Amino acid sequence: MSEVVVTGIGSVCALGNTLEESWQRLVAGKSKIRLCQPFPELPTLPLGMINTSPYQLADLTKLIVLSALEDAKLAPPLLDCAVVIGSSRSHQGIWEQIVQQMYNVNCLDPSRLLDSKIWLDTLPHMNAINAARIIGSVGIVLAPMAACATGIWSISQAVELIASGKCQRAIAGAVEAPITPLTITGFRQMGALAKTGVYPFDKNRQGLGLGEGGALFILESAKLAKERKAKIYGRILGFGLTADAYHPNQLHPEGKGAIAAIKQCLHRSKIIPKDIDYIHAHGTATQLNDRVESLVIQELFSDQVYVSSTKGGTGHTIGASGALGAAFSLMALKYQTLPPCVGLSNPEFDLNYVKKAYITRVQRVMCFSFGFGGQNAVIAMSV
């Protein structure tokens, strides 16, 4: 099996238009979550928006794809580069606009409003197809969709393609444009949204704040990366993917699926819990997630492992959150610095939280994504 390394990262989120910009603001403890009202029919809420109006998925994906290629010093066409780009919401914002338009003109016949090309371009898999067009790939294209686990699931699928020899290079990750009326309303109905701010693992946490953004990675076999003398952010050690099969939108209260995913990841990575220096937690700041995730960490890891969540700075980018977390984890390896848990001031749980950016020896990191409905994804990386 081929060793898989990361040779390029593209990222845009509320914290910055580049990964470096986002990282510098993150380690400074900054948050770009602001009270916003993008839709007049809905109340003001804390959101991690990149601009003053919601992004369209296609525009955001193109920015991140080009950024990843530039970082990896690659240029189109990349004919045999696999594309594994997921999104849990896909083009939902456009579909909501289409439905609203249909009702506004009292017309339920979509053919009278839009031509077939627009409909085709907004199907769930088309974002990955469009990314393949941008890079000029005629290789494998996959478009995973697994709630908040989408980003790590996408990276894991790409790792398998390279490790098994099906390709030597892939662009993988997730992008999300979730600031839509239906998404906001859905999370409000579940009682999952914060009212003033995002405070992961805090006694006073209120819930999540939706955020826009994503991260895409250029993954290559170690052999190919060495041949072209590419810079390397880190190695992918292994991953774990499980489902709770418990409830439509709640995690298992004992975290059984999450524990299974972590154990699976450790086994594939050929490491043990004490080998992990830092955990980038899912840390949504919802009551249930933070409680269950804390129990899981306490059960499997020592009280010395460092823990933080970056959603207090970026907002919860839903399907892209694991990809963003993996990007920040790789930056921790690059700079030998742990990012702070922005928004945490009064911890409820007994974990070794990173409250301020901390310079220390970082050799192996683990990133968690635990999605609503119990879709669990975990990835381990090293220098």
pLDDT tens sequence across 52-71: 999 999 999 999 999 999 99
Give 107's pLDDT tier (boundaries 50, 70, 90). Answer: low
Does the pLDDT at position 74 exceed 90? yes
Dihedral (CA of 184, 188, 191, 193) sign = positive
Residues 217 and 155: their CA atoms lie apart, in Å, by 8
- Check residue 104 and give its pLDDT: 72
Residues 208 and 197: their CA atoms lie apart, in Å, by 8
Q: Specify if 126 maps to a domain.
A: yes
Q: Specify if 186 maps to a domain.
A: yes
Domain extent at residue 303: 4-376
Active site (catalytic) residues: 148, 282, 316
In the chain the beta strands, taken as DSSP E runs, fall at 4-13, 34-36, 45-47, 82-86, 141-142, 169-176, 213-221, 234-243, 278-280, 306-308, 337-338, 352-353, 358-359, 364-371, 375-382
Copy the structure tokens of residue 14: 């509320």
Helix or strand or coil: residue 330? helix
Decide if 88 contacts 106 (C-beta within 8 A): no
Copy the structure tokens of residue 63: 């920015």
Higher pLDDT, 125 or 101: 125
- Check residue 310 and give its pLDDT: 98
Lowest mean pLDDT among 54-68, 102-116, 275-289, 327-341: 102-116
Q: Specify if 234 maps to a domain.
A: yes
- Check residue 98 and give its pLDDT: 80
Count Cβ atoms within 10 A of the Cβ of residue 46 and give its class: 0-12 exposed, 13-18 middle, 19 or more buried: buried
Residue with the two structure tokens 């220098």:
383
Tell me phi and psi for residue 34, to 5 degrees: -130, 155
Q: Specify if 219 maps to a domain.
A: yes
Q: Specify if 223 maps to a domain.
A: yes
pLDDT in tens, 152-206: 999 999 999 999 999 999 999 999 999 999 999 999 999 999 999 999 999 999 9
- Check residue 112 and give its pLDDT: 54
Does the pLDDT at position 93 exceed 80? yes
Percent of the chain scored above 90 by pLDDT? 90
Give 2's pLDDT tier (boundaries 50, 70, 90). Answer: confident
CATH number of the structural domain spanning residue 341: 3.40.47.10
Copy the structure tokens of residue 167: 């390709």
Q: Specify if 383 maps to a domain.
A: no
Does the pLDDT at position 111 exceed 60? no
Give 102's pLDDT tier (boundaries 50, 70, 90). Answer: confident
- According to DSSP, the β-strands at 306-308 and 45-47 are unpaired
Does the pLDDT at position 116 exceed 60? no
Question: What is the arithmetic mean of pLDDT over 292-296?
Answer: 98
- Check residue 34 and give its pLDDT: 97
Residues 25 and 14: their CA atoms lie apart, in Å, by 10
Closest alpha carbon to 289 in 369, 195, 235, 217:
369
- Check residue 121 and give its pLDDT: 86
Does the pLDDT at position 80 exceed 80? yes
- Check residue 100 and give its pLDDT: 80
- Chain center to CA of 274: 25
- Check residue 373 and give its pLDDT: 84
Decide if 258 contacts 220 (C-beta within 8 A): no
CB contact set of 300 (below 8 Å; sequence gap of 6+): 259, 262, 263, 273
Residue with the two structure tokens 């009212």:
195
Domain count across the chain: 1
- Check residue 236 and give its pLDDT: 98
Copy the structure tokens of residue 78: 């990349």
Dihedral (CA of 352, 354, 360, 366) sign = positive
Angle between helices 126-135 and 57-72 (to 10 degrees): 40
Q: Specify if 382 maps to a domain.
A: no
Provide the β-strand partners of residue 221: 4
Does the pLDDT at position 106 exceed 70? no
From residue 340, give the alpha-carbon distance in Å to each of 40, 255, 343, 373.
34, 24, 9, 28
Helix or strand or coil: residue 210? strand
pLDDT in tens, 5-40: 999 999 999 999 999 999 999 999 999 999 999 999
- Check residue 260 and give its pLDDT: 98
pTM of the model: 0.96
- Check residue 250 and give its pLDDT: 84
